[in-house]
Amino acid sequence: GQQVMQIPQYQHVQEGEDFTTYCNSSTTLSNIQWYKQRPGGHPVFLIQLVKSGEVKKQKRLTFQFGEAKKNSSLHITATQTTDVGTYFCAGQDGMNRDDKIIFGKGTRLHILP
């Protein structure tokens, strides 16, 4: 079945440095979503990408969807302590509306002051 791999598993950065997490699928995705989970909290939706090569920005966050719709990345510029948490990507397993959504294992971001 489909697998969604996310790297790195952990990342420590100094406050102010940039951070990137990558998501790779074994199959073509119809869309990909990104979620953030703060420590002790639940995943919260950040964004959804649908089109091949799509790039979306949310303030310091930049999301990209690969041309082949098999990979995606989330880049945070000038990290802040509020960025701490685990970032998950999630892809729909197949092209049908009914297909299940598969989550990557997440990248846990630690910010060093």
Q: Which stretches of the chain bind other proteins, using CB under 8 A?
A: 31, 33, 35, 41-45, 48, 50, 88, 90, 92, 97-106
Q: Which is nearer to other proteins, 90 or 111 (CB)?
A: 90
Structure-block tokens of residue 21: 């997490």
Residue 106 φ/ψ, nearest 5 degrees: 90, 155
Nearer to other proteins, 50 or 68 (CB): 50
- Residues with Cβ within 8 Å of residue 113, at least 6 apart in sequence: 15, 81
Shortest distance (Å) from residue 53 CB to other proteins: 16
What's the rounded Cα separation, in Å, for the pair 76 and 25? 21
Which residue, 31 or 77, has its beta carbon nearer to other proteins? 31
As measured in angstroms, the least distance from the Cβ of 100 to other proteins is 4
In angstroms, give the least distance from the CB of 32 to other proteins: 10
| Start-end of H helices in the chain | none
Which CB, 60 or 94, lies closer to other proteins?
A: 94
Measured in residues, the chain has a length of 113
CA 40 to each of CA 43, 79, 84, 109: distance values in angstroms, whole numbers, following the listed order: 10, 20, 12, 14
- Smallest gap from Cβ 45 to other proteins, in A, equals 5
